[in-house]
Amino acid sequence: MTTQATQPPPTVPALPRIILAVDGRTSPNPGPGGYAYVAVLQGPHGQELARHTAFVASRHIATPSRAMLFAVIRGLAFVIQEQTEGRWPVCPVEVTTYLDYITKGIIQNLPRWRGNGWKGSKGKVVKHAALWQQIA
């Protein structure tokens, strides 16, 4: 009988990550409204290292979908600025929202829309295309 020494599998170091929680509303719909985002930098073990919160009100938002898109755009712009200036590390960003339009848009539709020249499955220009292009 021979025994073979095995080495333990290499451990993958945990990475920091950024949680970007967004929300947007209008009242009435359509109408004026606002949006907010909270960006949280988490360390490798989930501990909060930094947090930034922003709230914006406007008379020119129009719909809840647009308000939410503005929140994503402004939140990502903040994260990119912090990363570019070296205050936050470049790491995965998780966008959290309750609106399926935003979630599906980012995860499923954005690559297809970009590849189709910002046109949807029926050949029409995607609703809020200029805002989606800023996210892309």
Q: Report which of 97, 38, 39 is spatially closest to residue 68, judged by C-alpha positions.
A: 97
Q: Report pLDDT digits (tens) over 1-39.
A: 445 556 656 665 688 999 999 999 999 999 999 999 999
Q: Report which of 136, 131, 134, 3 is spatially closest to residue 67, judged by C-alpha positions.
A: 131
Q: Is the CB of residue 34 less than 8 Å from the CB of residue 54?
A: no
Alpha helices in the chain (DSSP H): 64-84, 100-104, 110-115, 129-135
Count CB-CB contacts under 10 A for residue 69.
25
Q: Report pLDDT digits (tens) over 29-39.
A: 999 999 999 99
Q: Is the CB of residue 22 less than 8 Å from the CB of residue 95?
A: yes
Q: Which amino acid is at 118?
A: W
pLDDT along the chain (136 residues), means of 10: 56 83 95 96 95 94 93 98 97 95 94 93 93 95
